[in-house]
Structure formats: C-alpha cells, structure tokens
Amino acid sequence: MAKKKNTGQRDYATADLLKAKCDEYFRTCDEDGALYGEAGLALHLNVTIETLRRWYDGKRCPDFQETAQMAYLRIQNQIETDPRYQEKGMVTRGIFLNKQPRFGGYQDKVEARQDISVNVNMGKGMDDSDFK
C-alpha cells in the first residue's frame, strides 16, 4: 500500500460513512464464506492497521471510536461463536486471537498478588517476661 500524504482530510467524512464501509466488509466476508479479520478490515477500508487501532483507542478521529470498537466486537464475536474456530488447526488460532487486547484480552491464568501484614498489639500488664 502506498503511503498517503497527510493532507488533513479524512477518508471517511463521518462515522456513518465508516460504519457503512465496515458493514460492506462484513457482508462481503459473509457472502464469500470468509472469516473476519483485522487485516482484512483495514485493507477493505484502505487504511493501515495502526490507523484502525488508533480509531479503536480514540487517539485519532475520536468520533470513529465507537464504530471501530463495534467492528472489532463483531470480529471477536465470530471468533467466539463460529464453528470453524473449533475445527482442527483453528482452535489454537481462536485462542491466540482471544488473547489480543482488541479481541477480548483473555489470559490463561490470573496472577494473584498476595501481601500479608501482621499487626500485634500487646495487652495491658504484659512485659518481656511473658515471652520467655
């Protein structure tokens, strides 16, 4: 993909236009029997994955954040529910994808941190002889 000049103009004037283009991507995948993906969505939108992620994070074009997050959510839903991810060779892919921050950010185990503090108060009338 050729690097675009930053002219200050956006490829999609409104979030509604971006949503329509995202919906077109999902519809095309459904018609072709293809699985959704971050790279495929970015290519369909003619933007880099970094741009798509910035939209998701609200760092670029904050008005696109909800649309981008809903697109990622739709990809995540397919990862979690599509039976193709249960086929041989695809289970590991599904697990890996679900561990990605934008697709659930799941973890294998929870790291528990345990801090223990003990506070001892001596009662009245106690002295060093009580501990010999």
| Distance, CA of 39 to CA of 25 (rounded, Å) | 11
DSSP 91: H
Q: Which residue has the higher pLDDT, 88 or 37?
A: 37
Q: Can you tell me which residue has the tokens 């990862």? A: 79
Q: What's the pLDDT score for residue 16?
A: 96
Q: What percent of the chain has pLDDT over 70?
A: 72
DSSP 12: S
Q: What's the pLDDT score for residue 31?
A: 97
110-124: pLDDT as tens digits: 677 777 777 666 667
| Distance, CA of 41 to CA of 66 (rounded, Å) | 15
Q: What percent of the chain has pLDDT over 90?
A: 45
Least confident of 12-16, 20-24, 110-114: 110-114
Structure tokens given for 44? 């369909």
pTM listed for this prediction: 0.67
- Per-residue pLDDT, averaged over 74-91, amounts to 81
Q: What's the pLDDT score for residue 66?
A: 96
pLDDT beyond 50 at 90: yes
Query: What's the whole-number average pLDDT of the chain?
Result: 81
Structure tokens given for 38? 């971050």
Q: Where are the domains of the chain?
A: 15-103
Q: Which residue has the higher pLDDT, 109 or 30?
A: 30
